[in-house]
Amino acid sequence: MKTYTIADQEFIEEIIAGCKVCFAGVVDENGLPYVVPMNFGYYQGVFYLHSAPEGRIIRALEKNNHICLTFNLGEELAFQHPEVACSYRMKAKSVVAEGKVSFVEDMEQKRQALDYIMAQYSDKSFKYNDPAVRNVKIWRVDIDTFGCKEFGAPHGAYKK
């Protein structure tokens, strides 16, 4: 089994489309790493996330807007020999995206971002009332770099 590093944007976006949660990593105001699972939306190379308007992660992003988002798909335990511990590994696909967060304040842009988030989970259309939109923090994450790997694939499996 082999690990492939993948640069194909279509393959990367297929992984993202298949995920229901991303993990958002930041450095908090005390210089400590802080990672939280989050719902997300993705549209034309930009991620959208939402949260409460205050909290540890918001304080961190107000000081340092750099973020790392990770996605993982298709976890499956595999082995070459059931009695050899070192032959065990996970078969999976992962994406690591690094970028910068800006907060969306415009009400219509917030609604659009919420639509992108909901499209990750449902094909329904939604309406959002003004108090709910005002009270949610919308994050726009512009990506600087993508990294993608497929772990535990058979040799020669990745062809793109």
CATH code for the domain of 45: 2.30.110.10
Q: If you average pLDDT over every residue of the chain, what do you get? A: 91
Token pair listed for 6: 């993948």
Please check whether residue 121 is in contact with residue 114, taking contact to mean a CB–CB distance below 8 angstroms: no
Residue 40: the pLDDT is 98
Residue numbers of the domain that contains 25: 2-153
Domain count, the chain: 1
In a domain, residue 159? The reply is no
Count Cβ atoms within 10 A of the Cβ of residue 1 and give its class: 0-12 exposed, 13-18 middle, 19 or more buried. middle
Predicted TM-score (pTM) of the model is 0.87
In a domain, residue 147? The reply is yes
In a domain, residue 160? The reply is no
What's the mean pLDDT in 59-69?
Answer: 97
Residue-wise pLDDT for 111-135, tens only, equals 999 999 999 999 999 999 999 999 9
In a domain, residue 158? The reply is no
In a domain, residue 104? The reply is yes
- The C-alpha atoms of residue 40 and residue 23 are separated, in whole angstroms, by 10
Residue-wise pLDDT for 67-113, tens only, equals 999 999 977 777 777 887 887 777 889 999 999 999 999 999 999 99
In a domain, residue 71? The reply is yes
In a domain, residue 28? The reply is yes
